[in-house]
A and B are shown apart, each in its own frame.
Chain A
Amino acid sequence: MSLLQSGLGGSNNMKSSTNSTTSLNPMNRSTGSHLEIPLKELKSNGIETDEIDIDLTPSNFPWYKKIYYYITNADQFIGVSRKIYVLNQSKNSEYRYCNNYVKTSKYTILSFIPKNLFEQFCRLANVYFLIISAFQLIPGVSPTGRFTTLGPLLVVLAITAVKEAYEDYRRHQQDDKVNHSRTQVLRGDHFQEIQWEELEVGDVVRVTNRQYIPADLLLLSSSEPGGICYIETANLDGETNLKPREALEETSQLQEPQQCVQGLQSAMIHCEHPNNRLYTFSGSVDMGNGDKVVPIGVKQVVLRGAMLRNTKWINGVVIFSGKDTKLMRNSIGTPSKRSSVERMTNIFIIFIFTFQLLLCGLCAIASGLFTENSKDAFYLNYTGSSAQNGGMSFMTFLILFNNLIPISLYVSMEVVKVFQAHFINNDLDMYHSESDTPALARTSNLNEELGQVGYIFSDKTGTLTQNKMSFKKCTIAGIVYGRDKSLAQNPSLSSITIPSNSNGNDVQVQQVVDLEEGLQQNQQQLLNQTFSHIDFKDPSLLFNLANHGTSETIREFMVILAVCHTVVSEVEGSTVTYQASSPDEYALVHAAKHFGFEFLSRTNKSITIRQQGRTEEYRYDILNILEFNSNRRRMSVIVRTPEQKIMLYCKGADSVIFERLSPSQPFADKTINHLQEFASEGLRTLCIARTEIQESTYQQWSQEYYTASTCINEREQELDRVAEIIEKNLFLLGATAIEDRLQDGVPETISLLRDAGIKIWVLTGDKQETAINIGFSCRLLTADMELIIINEQTKENCIIEINRKLDEINQQEVKNSMALIIDGNTLMYALDDGIAMSLLKLGVKCKSVICCRVSPLQKAQVVNLVRKNLNAITLSIGDGANDVNMIQTAHVGVGISGEEGLQAARSSDYAIAQFRFLARLLLVHGRYSYRRISKLICYCFYKNIALYLTQFCFTIFNGWSGQTYYERLTLTAYNVAWTFFPVLALGILDKDVSENACLSNPKLYTAGIKGYHFNTMVFLGWLLNGLYHSVVLFAFPAAIFRLGVPYEDGKTIGLFEMGTVSYTCVVLTVNLKLALETKRWTWINHLTTWGSIVIYFLWLIIFGKFFEIESFDVGSDLYSVIYKLGTCAEFYLTIIFVPLLALWRDFSWKYVKRNIFTRGYHIAQERDQEKKRSPSYHSNLQNSTYSFSQESTAQNDHK
């Protein structure tokens, strides 16, 4: 192992120029040959290391390790890096790379039953019922036969298993489709078609245009010049733009099968072990012909799941296959979250279980005492001591009362939640037709959590805004261009003081025209050109470009815009379209084109642009691209200009650019002012700078860069470090300002959510001014708010400031609404343990909180601060990779499936296309789900209490013996037949108020935040109600039939007839109770409710005859009972009277509550009904369904 490491280390440290630079450097060859020595060492070492490796192959593991690996399915990577012998399967085989078969399914036919059972029994309740079932098999212990628990348990397990099986069947189908796709692979000396699953690591495959890539490939060559190919990675990260990949120079000539065979026969690839990082890759190729080892990076790798575009074909070597591919490594499910309702339910179950144990203990003691007292009763013929009898009866009671814990609760919840998620997925009002994206519930566990959200943490860019950028303004050489007022600008801005326009500068701003006119103009633009990328009306720029003192700077500025980016152009005929992964770059390149600097095409080594309508094209040789990432917050290109100068062009955030400027900067001061001005208008700014690099400096640096780029481990950090060296002494030219428009309906949604009692915190990476401005335009901040802005540079000041503000607020008599604005620097201190609580207190007091310039980690920390310390449900919503942390930290994560790709959506629990759908997701779906699940859980407990406590009541009258009052099969079916379906229908379909009412009365949501519909009091209320019902349901039938002669023919009533009367009353009562709770009666509710009752009676009638059938002699207890009871008038009068008496309380209380303790939802219901009765209702029905979206567009119109 260590030898291998050092060997690899040697290859990493090789000094050579990177292949991606047009290397004019003659040293290349010499360094290459110079390095043959370590390379050979590596090879000779390789043999030894291989031998060491062989000891580590799984086949040589001791058996217990094999079992361990088999069970845990753990990765068994051998060595520190992966070695692949191209086209040499026999050599590769010792590494046991997996084949290209992918499996997303969980089960096979054989493993289904054991695996699924195992998973189901991970749920404690199921284990509990299994134990009870086992007790029941002990002879003489069970009062209710052997299968009263096992039966329902099997039904419950079966329902879950069927659901799982169906889901898995779908996965199997998908897997098969994928695994049986066909691709071409090099076999012998020609390409041959095989199925995907037959591919192996080291194979050479050919993929043609518009085919999906079958495995992670090292790109060898392509049909295009320079070995370039384009891929679309929508399946991987959701980005639909084309990304270029380029083959190594060394391999790009391997085009025909024979060439491949010859060129690759002794080639070997070293690379990192499989991982889930989509955007990094490090490795190296040794062609085996004695040449240098060539580094490979992410540019040379095409990933499984991507689609080949704009390229006729490519050849590639399989490096990761099957489950090792990055796609599969990324498809691991999100960590499962449980809703607070479910956590509370688990506590209640423990509570009920404790109660049950106490009850059993009490009964067992009473049973012992009874035995002691009636020892002499000859008819009972006691054997054994009283204590023994009492002790045995404990188990009997445990079985008798076991269903105080509702057996069908979890399965009911599961079924209901699946439907709720289904409703979310299918909601037309959350379907975004422009992007053809419906909402997606990635989990159904958290539906009810959506109805209780107290805090929303929102990202800004792409979440509140569209992330569709349009070029708005710029400042070049200290002169501002672009006169339009930004749409985001808000009149209320004037009330806050942000340092703007410094006095006495020679800004040539064409002052704002009439504000109203400007707004109207914007209005017009919004309607007409939502997709434009330039929103710039200022002829002075073109004028100055043509003839002004600064025209050369302007020209350079534009060249940078046209050259410094990673946009790809696609030429179709005479039109050039751009494919960009960053919307900002997209807008900038368009802007450059607009001003006459058209970006035409790029190869891996150059960019061609055309200037100002001239025909000649200029080629900029790209020496290096220092890419953008969120740490660097800038990108640079190093180019050799047509004038043969080496230039570094850089664009980036102001803070990082200003740090790197050379001392004398003619435009810096003015630019700073302008930047602030732009930011206060809510525009995104980027600074543009450049520097010239001396040839010798560059050569030196480029070697360092090459070393960094060939690192296998921590390559990124290395590259960042090296980039730092060259990106200095910049000269500032100016800055661009890009507008990111608000999404439709954002202000309305925010005010709606806020009316619902939800606090909204915005966490953004933007500058403070931008953030405040967006805050105003989306009504998060209003003019009457007092803004508390905290920007402190030291920890001490930060503590002092926060505490001072807190004191101020506490002393204030009349409380204005306040908003807290804090920046990332200050947060760094403020999130420390000492003052985090003060910060939280301050934040809670404020109506809005905006945190600007926060890092992804800080976002998560803020969410965590609230989540840990406040008893509130948190929701994070975001769209970008930088939001993943906070999305996973919050109770509920919502991803916007938008422009920045799908990373956020992939790690979220719910994905929606637009921010405005959040209102509907929470206020409608969340609220419904919460109310439905709350009712379902309470009802499931209630119905079992109501039934099983009658058993307890009866046991008082049967000598504490644990005799069951009810026939065992009929009892068994209680939870799975007589009372199972209506509550499902309620959980799926019930709406206490209409969707319109939910949206137009956001206050209704507040009940969810405060947990009014499901808490200990509510739960106890239902329990007491169950207790009351059970007493009524036992006592009244018993009292009525106590005297024993209900029949006209003088016969007396027996045990199971009385039981049947009581049981019938129970079934009627709990079903009617549910009917009382049902607010919305669709045909399904009618069918299930009345159907359950009818089926129950049918059962009695049919089962009453069972004893007559030879093989069904189970029904002796109930044989003929219903036929006898049917002749008894008192029976009918009882089953009418008792449920009515039981529900009399519920009915009266509901009425009293509505009239005296009126709640919001009562009113909303009444208004719904009024509306329904009004004649205009029916004609408006269609409109009202979409009223929300219409409302929001209507409001947009008014603006």
Chain B
Amino acid sequence: MSSKEPHSKRPANTAFKQQRLKAWEPILTPGPVIISFIIIGIVFIPIGAVMITASKDVVEKIARYDNLDECSVGSVCNVTINVDQEMKAPVYLYYRLENFYQNHRRYVKSRNDDQLRGVIVKDYSALQDCDPLKSEGDSQDPSKFYLPCGLIASSMFNDTFIMRQGNKTVPLQKEGIAWTSDKEKKFKNPPADAPGIRIIPDFEDEDFIVWMRTAGLPDFKKLYRIINQDISGEVTIQVTSNYPVDSFDGKKYIVLSTTTWIGGKNPFLGYAYVIVGCICFVQGIAFFIKHKVSPRKLGDPKYLEFSK
């Protein structure tokens, strides 16, 4: 309230305060728009074509086996696949489950990362997420804890496959089916004397690590083995069927596939590119024709008289 020095209240003349910052003000005039549509068309169609070709190069063979009588749970059976096109090494052997909700919330959260890293978890409350499979009889005694706890580990896929061509066994490579980062950091065996009830004997088992990386959709493939030789002709896969799927109307498949730079067989994205490319191209042409036939004069003042 003390007397102020008289000074002007004139606002500062800065670009920001006066809203005069230098700016680029693009507007969607016909030229740039038509050109961008046509360019999108021209770029997308070939990309799509290349992807379709790449997808066509992939050889993929699928065989369902849970519906075969001889492959019922608890039995060993042979599934024959006819590889009519040569599959170049490396060939990947997958199992595929359908109608299995590995992405169910109850399922996804049911794990404990500390346990899986080999840390001894003694606090019962830390196993909260593993609900409903925390410990035997929900006991708070660490020696009764499941190791590892949770639904994912307890429901691990346990069918096994042996592949034969003729009467020769095809060697299947297990190493490298899991992510190296998972192997290095996320999964470590606990000390041998760790208290608890072992559900999985070896936490560093790559099959287990693969299983623990839950799938995004209820119909999923998981990498089982890598085959480092070319395959053609008839192959037989001997399945030891342990995994029950009847309780949830699931289906079990064996998949053999090669890959290219886009991965496995997947023409969808390629077609999508081609289709969208075509639409954009046609749209560009249509806009061009419209612009040529009945152009709207830019800045035509008659539209300024606001009518609507």
Contact = CB atoms under 8 A, between A and B. Distances in A.
A719 B257 CA distance: 105
Interface string A1154-1188: 11001110111111111010000000000001000
B303 A139 contact: no
Interface residues of B, number: 100
Given A1047-B259, A1134-B269, A1004 B306 contact: yes
Contacts of A181: 1-2
A1158 B303 contact: yes
B94 A1052 contact: yes
A454 to B, nearest CB: 14
Contact of B226 (A1050, A1054, A1170): A1050
Contacts of A1123: 181
Interface stretch (A3-11, A577-585, A825-833, A1081-1089): A1081-1089
Interface string A1118-1152: 01100110001110011001001100100110110
A1117 to B, nearest CB: 9
Contacts of B2: 177-178, 181, 212
Contacts of A1148: 283
Contacts of B17: 422-423, 426
Contacts of B298: 1166, 1170
Contacts of B272: 1036, 1040, 1137, 1141
A1038 interface: yes
A958 B133 contact: no
B287 to A, nearest CB: 7
A1081 B26 contact: yes
Contacts of A196: 1
B28 A1042 contact: no
B171 interface: no
Nearest to B157: A379
B71 interface: no
B167 interface: no
A757 B306 CA distance: 10
B201 interface: no
Contact of A1047 (B100, B215, B263): B263
B103 interface: yes
Given A378-B155, A1046-B263, A1048-B259, A1168 B215 contact: no
A1144 B154 CA distance: 46
Pick from A143, A964, A1051, A1164 the residue with the most CB of B within 10 Å.
A1051
B151 to A, nearest CB: 6
Given A423-B19, A1053-B216, A438 B10 contact: yes
B9 A959 contact: no
Interface in A35-55: none
Contact of A1039 (B13, B154, B262, B268): B268
Contacts of A989: 19, 21, 23
B104 to A, nearest CB: 5
Nearest to A396: B105
Contacts of A1141: 272, 276
A1153 B210 CA distance: 51
A210 B3 CA distance: 8
A469 B47 CA distance: 79
B35 interface: no
A950 to B, nearest CB: 13
B259 to A, nearest CB: 5
B247 A1051 contact: no
Given A1107-B186, A1119-B185, A1144-B276, A961 B9 contact: no
Contact of A958 (B218, B264, B300): B218
B263 A1048 contact: yes
Given A426-B17, A1081-B24, A1055 B215 contact: yes
Given A143-B105, A426-B12, A1050-B90, A1120 B181 contact: yes
Interface in B219-264: 219-223, 226, 244, 247-248, 257, 259-264
Contact of A1040 (B100, B265, B268): B268
Contacts of A1052: 94, 215, 220-223
Interface in A1003-1024: 1003-1004, 1006-1007
A1049 interface: yes
Nearest to A425: B11
A1004 to B, nearest CB: 7
Interface string B163-204: 000000000000011010110011000000000000000000
B72 interface: no
B12 A1151 contact: no
A184 B152 CA distance: 82
A957 B217 CA distance: 6
A1068 to B, nearest CB: 16
B64 interface: no
Contacts of B213: 1054-1055
Given A378-B155, A379-B107, A380-B107, A1001 B304 contact: yes
A1043 interface: yes
A308 to B, nearest CB: 11
Contacts of A633: none
A379 B248 contact: yes
B128 interface: yes
A225 interface: no
A1052 B298 CA distance: 53
A820 to B, nearest CB: 25
A1145 B17 CA distance: 36
A182 B289 CA distance: 81
A1108 B273 CA distance: 38
Interface string A144-188: 000000000000000000000000000000000110010000000
B273 A378 contact: no
B90 A140 contact: no
Nearest to A1120: B181
B120 to A, nearest CB: 15
Contacts of B182: 1120
Interface string A401-412: 000000000000
B218 A1051 contact: no
Contacts of B266: 1040, 1043, 1045-1046, 1130
A1166 B299 contact: yes
Interface in B94-131: 94, 100-109, 113-114, 128, 131
Interface string B24-45: 1111111001000000100000
Interface stretch (A256-264, A429-437, A500-508, A701-709): A429-437
A427 interface: yes
Contacts of A383: 132
A436 B9 contact: yes
A1059 B216 contact: yes
Contacts of B217: 957, 1038, 1042, 1044, 1058
B296 interface: yes
A210 B6 CA distance: 14
Interface in A1048-1090: 1048-1059, 1079-1085
Contact of A1082 (B11, B21, B177, B306): B21
A961 B12 CA distance: 58
11 contacts: A431-B11, A436-B8, A438-B9, A961-B104, A1045-B221, A1048-B260, A1050-B263, A1054-B213, A1107-B185, A1119-B186, A1137-B276
Given A1041-B216, A1054-B215, A1128-B263, 6 more contacts: A991-B19, A1039-B268, A1052-B223, A1085-B23, A1130-B266, A1160-B306
Q: Which 4 A-B pairs have the closest CB atoms?
A: A1045-B264, A1058-B216, A1050-B92, A963-B105
Interface of A: 139-140, 143, 177-178, 181, 196, 210-212, 235, 305, 307, 374, 376-383, 396, 422-423, 425-428, 431, 433, 436-438, 757, 954, 957-959, 961-965, 989, 991, 995, 1001, 1003-1004, 1006-1007, 1036, 1038-1059, 1079-1085, 1107-1108, 1113, 1116, 1119-1120, 1123-1124, 1128-1130, 1133-1134, 1137, 1140-1141, 1144, 1147-1148, 1150-1151, 1154-1155, 1158-1160, 1162-1170, 1172, 1185
